[in-house]
Amino acid sequence: MARVATGLDPLTAEERSARMSKVKARGNRSTERAVFGVLIEHGIDGWTQHCKDIVGRPDFFFERLPLALFVDGCFWHGCPVCDRNIPRNRVGFWRKKIEENRRRDRKVTRELRQAGVHVVRIWEHQIRDGSWVPPFRRILSRLGYNWRLALARGCGVSPQALSGNSPGTLAGEDPSDSVATS
Ligand SMILES: [Zn+2]
């Protein structure tokens, strides 16, 4: 693999890719932890994380609904709102990677929906501002989620369950309804 001789980007595509994968994994863990915290805080259960038997390994899978919840990083999944700055060198390389991710996301969503699974994708920036929570609660309600039981369950959460991290900020009555579902 030839080195890119600009001095700005001394890494091969593979090296750069491996490095960015680690960044991605770290980012993913923190956003997932925030979602995890919100679910616990709201007493929402009945989900498993990274269920490998399900197409696309959803970040959270609610078997009984059934509903797959994905947390998409704004850069890697090409968020139209954030439109993150793509590194100026090798723009084509990044665009290709992001487009591959988007294509895979669409394929996974399609396959799950065909199998009768509801799909919800939330953007990383929605985790930060909490705007995903009200629409997600509405989706759960629509699918017949039992909030009375959830409230009862939500009372006894131990702080340890949050892995020492505070849950994501809630936006209260944010009217935004950008969480998409089938
Ligand atoms: Zn975004």
**Domain-wise residue ranges, the chain:** 37-150
Taking the centre of ligand 1 as the mean of its atom positions, its distance from the CA of residue 18, in whole angstroms, is: 23
Taking the centre of ligand 1 as the mean of its atom positions, its distance from the CA of residue 77, in whole angstroms, is: 9
Determine the pLDDT at residue 7: 44
How confident is the model over 23-40, as a mean pLDDT?
79
Answer yes or no: is pLDDT of 108 > 90. yes
Alpha helices in 46-164 (DSSP H): 91-114, 124-129, 133-142, 147-154
Taking the centre of ligand 1 as the mean of its atom positions, its distance from the CA of residue 102, in whole angstroms, is: 14
Taking the centre of ligand 1 as the mean of its atom positions, its distance from the CA of residue 135, in whole angstroms, is: 17
pLDDT band at residue 91, thresholds of 50, 70 and 90?
A: confident
Taking the centre of ligand 1 as the mean of its atom positions, its distance from the CA of residue 181, in whole angstroms, is: 17
Answer yes or no: is pLDDT of 25 > 60. no
Taking the centre of ligand 1 as the mean of its atom positions, its distance from the CA of residue 127, in whole angstroms, is: 9
Determine the pLDDT at residue 112: 97
Q: What fold characterizes domain 37-150?
A: Endonuclease; Chain A (3.40.960)
Answer yes or no: is pLDDT of 14 > 50. yes
∠ CA 99-95-108, nearest 5°, is 15
Taking the centre of ligand 1 as the mean of its atom positions, its distance from the CA of residue 148, in whole angstroms, is: 33
What is the DSSP pairing of strand 60-62 with strand 67-72? antiparallel
Query: Residue 70 region, left (φ>0) first, then alpha (ψ -120 to 50), else beta?
Result: beta
pLDDT band at residue 161, thresholds of 50, 70 and 90?
A: very low
Determine the pLDDT at residue 151: 62
How confident is the model over 21-37, as a mean pLDDT?
74
